[in-house]
């Protein structure tokens, strides 16, 4: 039996080598496709109202919406890739979003999960927020490509099939190209609930895509479901950007820097993203981070 072991190992290695090569080729192809998509957006006339290398698109179907951002960040891939491939770090990212009230990462034999509570833009008890369990996984990782996926079957207001996907590739030695895709679906009940929300509380909220121009030349921005998904896609992207930007500071100062940076980032787009004053946001988020970290320390 012992003499057969090297043969068995050799056979296993022979089987693993093509699989590893196939995975490497898939990562290389995905990285090339991501760079090509960015170049198309970068060269498209009038496609960037943000005055920086950031491109936002959205789509709506009969049973769902999706938002997509391609952007360059001034961080090397070695840093961005290593920081975005851990579930606990994603809790630090997601909690910057004003509607995320709590996040806790857990890993067991079946994989990693993020227990997230989604709530109102103001401070509230967790019992009043909606719990969502996101399955978290690294779908691909190589020296030149990272793909992280979060998925949840159910969400608030009868929504479903939540998907958050992040891809990252090095553009050069100091910058990383990110692609964030965010989507969710809904049935009849979910669509009615979302339309009721958009017709009342969020009736004055707009997205970023320009649908036309007013008589005085001012832009007309889309609203409705596409406007909603564009706002949240941008909030999640800015959370990633703010988290990465805070890594240059000492660990004890990173939370405060990321909070201030996220708020400053959304205030660049007050028509779409302004909800709270700075002091109210900072006070609320400090409490929510303390609550999440206290739960992690609890056996």
3-state DSSP of 240-265 = HHHHHHHHHCCHHHHHHHHHHHHHHH
At residue 9, the pLDDT reads 28
State the CB neighbour count (10 A cutoff) for residue 130: 16
pLDDT band at residue 217 under the 50/70/90 scheme: confident
Contacts with 274 (C-beta within 8 Å, 6 or more apart), sequence order: 266, 267
Strand pairing partners for 67? 58, 182
At residue 195, the pLDDT reads 76
Percentage with pLDDT > 70 across the chain: 90
pLDDT band at residue 205 under the 50/70/90 scheme: confident
Q: Is pLDDT above 80 for 67?
A: yes
> Which stretch of 21-35, 85-99, 191-205, 207-221 has the lowest confidence by average pLDDT?
191-205
At residue 2, the pLDDT reads 39
Q: Is pLDDT above 80 for 16?
A: no
At residue 190, the pLDDT reads 74
Sign of CA dihedral 168, 114, 191, 212: negative
Q: Is pLDDT above 70 for 250?
A: yes
The mean per-residue pLDDT over the stretch 222-230 comes to 93
- Give yes or no for a contact between 97 and 235, defined as CB atoms under 8 angstroms apart: yes
Q: Burial, 30: exposed, middle or buried (Cβ in 10 Å; 0-12, 13-18, 19+)?
A: buried
- Give yes or no for a contact between 239 and 116, defined as CB atoms under 8 angstroms apart: no
Q: Can you state the angle between helices 254-266 and 224-245, rounded to 10 degrees?
A: 150
Against a cut of 0.75, is the pTM above it?
yes
To the nearest whole number, what is the mean pLDDT of the chain?
Answer: 88
pLDDT band at residue 157 under the 50/70/90 scheme: confident
Residue 11 DSSP label: H
Question: Measuring CA to CA, which residue among 66, 208, 86 is closest to residue 138?
Answer: 86
The mean per-residue pLDDT over the stretch 238-264 comes to 97
At residue 49, the pLDDT reads 76
Backbone torsions φ then ψ of 222, nearest 5 degrees: -70, 155
CA distance linking residue 134 with residue 127, whole number of Å: 19
The mean per-residue pLDDT over the stretch 69-85 comes to 94
SS3 category, 129? coil
Task: Please give the structure tokens belonging to residue 229.
Answer: 């998904």
At residue 214, the pLDDT reads 87
At residue 6, the pLDDT reads 36
- Give yes or no for a contact between 69 and 179, defined as CB atoms under 8 angstroms apart: yes
The mean per-residue pLDDT over the stretch 30-47 comes to 86
Q: Is pLDDT above 50 for 3?
A: no
Quick: pLDDT tens for 276-295.
999 999 999 999 999 998 87
């Amino acid at each position: 039996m012992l003499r057969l072991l090297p043969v068995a190992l050799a056979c296993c290695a022979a089987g693993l080598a093509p699989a590893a090569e196939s995975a490497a080729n898939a990562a290389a192809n995905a990285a090339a496709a991501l760079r090509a998509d960015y170049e198309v957006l970068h060269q498209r006339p009038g496609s960037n109202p943000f005055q920086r290398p950031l491109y936002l698109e959205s789509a709506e179907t009969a049973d769902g919406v999706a938002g997509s951002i391609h952007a360059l960040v001034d961080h090397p891939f070695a840093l961005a890739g290593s920081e975005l491939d851990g579930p606990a770090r994603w809790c630090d990212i997601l909690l910057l979003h004003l509607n995320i009230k709590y996040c806790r990462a857990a890993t067991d034999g079946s994989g990693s999960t993020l227990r997230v509570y989604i709530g109102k833009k103001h401070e509230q008890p967790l019992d009043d927020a909606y719990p969502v369990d996101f399955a978290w996984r690294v779908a691909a990782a190589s020296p030149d490509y990272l793909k992280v996926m979060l998925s949840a079957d159910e969400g608030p207001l009868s929504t479903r099939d939540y998907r958050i996907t992040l891809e990252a590739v090095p553009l050069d030695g100091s910058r990383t190209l990110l692609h964030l895709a965010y989507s969710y679906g809904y049935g009849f009940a979910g669509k009615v609930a979302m339309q009721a929300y958009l017709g009342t509380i969020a009736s004055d909220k707009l997205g970023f895509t320009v649908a036309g121009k007013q008589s005085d030349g001012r832009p007309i921005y889309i609203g409705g479901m596409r406007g909603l998904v564009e706002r949240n896609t941008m909030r999640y992207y800015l959370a990633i950007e703010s988290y990465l930007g805070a890594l240059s500071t000492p660990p004890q100062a990173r939370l405060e820097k990321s909070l201030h940076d996220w708020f400053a980032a959304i205030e660049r787009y007050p028509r779409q993203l302004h909800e709270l004053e700075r002091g109210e946001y900072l006070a609320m988020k400090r409490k929510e981070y303390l609550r999440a970290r206290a739960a992690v320390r609890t056996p």
